[in-house]
Amino acid sequence: MLAVGTLAYAHVETKLFTLREVTVPVLPAGQRDLRILHFSDLHLTPGQQRKIDWVRSLAELRPDVVIDTGDNMAHLQALGPLLHALEPLLASAPGAFVMGSNDYYSPVPKNPARYLLPDARSRRAMPPPDLPADELARAMRSAGWADLTNRRDTLTVDGRRIALVGVDDPHLDLDVFPPREAPRGTHAEAPDATTADLRLAVTHAPYRRVLDAMYDDGADLVLAGHTHGGQLNVPGFGALVTNCDIDRRRAKGLHGWPGPRPDAPGGAGSTWLNVSAGAGTSPYAPVRFACRPEATLLTLTSV
């Protein structure tokens, strides 16, 4: 009876959308606060009206910047409902995005036990993508959002310059960290991060190799998703898995990388890392426990 009740609650929790708010002291001294809305892993399917309404309501927060760290779709017909959900955000705030595996491939049933393996990924050759990731990217770019698929870009927000860098999904081994300068023989150069007020790095899956590259690149703040916060958490213990090689302690929330948070003892050499627990699940595993679906509003303040 207890197991049945727990499973029923775990299904209900997938609809208990919440906003996590954190403060990150990362801006140069004397600057005004900057608010970043970070969402991830919507895994949207047609008919999820409660989720669509919640995503649309996030525009009421009036963020200065919006960052989408991927895995937006979970159905072949999800693009229309997704763009409807994102419409107020696309129309009201500058933003940037990267893709996750579930922007390229629709979900398939999986044995949950595989996530307990050191690496749960299939090593079979991948078929061509079946989800409209290209159409989604075009719609976001048309709204002025920066496409950070293995590339750099910049945003100017409230008179401040934000240098951006991102990678394609490391979970599919698609990540190629972009160099600071264009390849020899070309005329364009990558945006110069050294003169920026903020250096922001974005990835779907927080694999250690990517976080290390972003840290070495001088990122002030790294934003990631993918983990679902573990999706099923044990109270007092936390996440059981992260579905990548980041440690369970960093499965969700605001942390430091590679060490403790920069404002904690021993964290002076770290950068800030926010891992979103995401707002959805696979349609084949529609449960969350002790890990509510979320978006994050990060208020960046001066140090």
pLDDT in tens, 104-129: 999 988 766 666 667 776 666 788 99
C-alpha span between 109 and 283 (Å, rounded): 9
pLDDT of 40 higher than 60: yes
Least confident window among 51-55, 82-86, 118-122, 269-273: 118-122
**pLDDT tens-digit readout, 208-233:** 999 999 999 999 999 999 999 999 99
User: Which tokens go with 249?
Assistant: 């302690």
| Closest to 157 (Cα-Cα) out of 127, 126, 119, 198 | 198
* Distance of alpha carbon 214 from alpha carbon 98, whole angstroms: 15
Tell me what the mean pLDDT of segment 230-244 comes to: 95
| Residue ranges covered by each domain of the chain | 2-107+129-302
Residue 42's closest CA among 68, 7, 64?
68
Q: Check residue 187 and give its pLDDT.
A: 45
From CA 201, how far away is CA 81, in angstroms rounded? Answer: 28
Structural Rg of the chain based on CA atoms: 18
Q: What is the mean pLDDT of the chain?
A: 93
In words, the CATH class of domain 2-107+129-302 is: alpha beta
Backbone angles phi, psi at 222, to 5 degrees: -115, 135
Percent of the chain with pLDDT over 90: 84
Band the pLDDT of 186: cuts 50, 70, 90: very low
pTM of the model: 0.94
Longest Cα–Cα distance in the chain: 68
| pLDDT value at 291 more than 70 | yes
Which residue carries 């079979």 as its tokens? 124
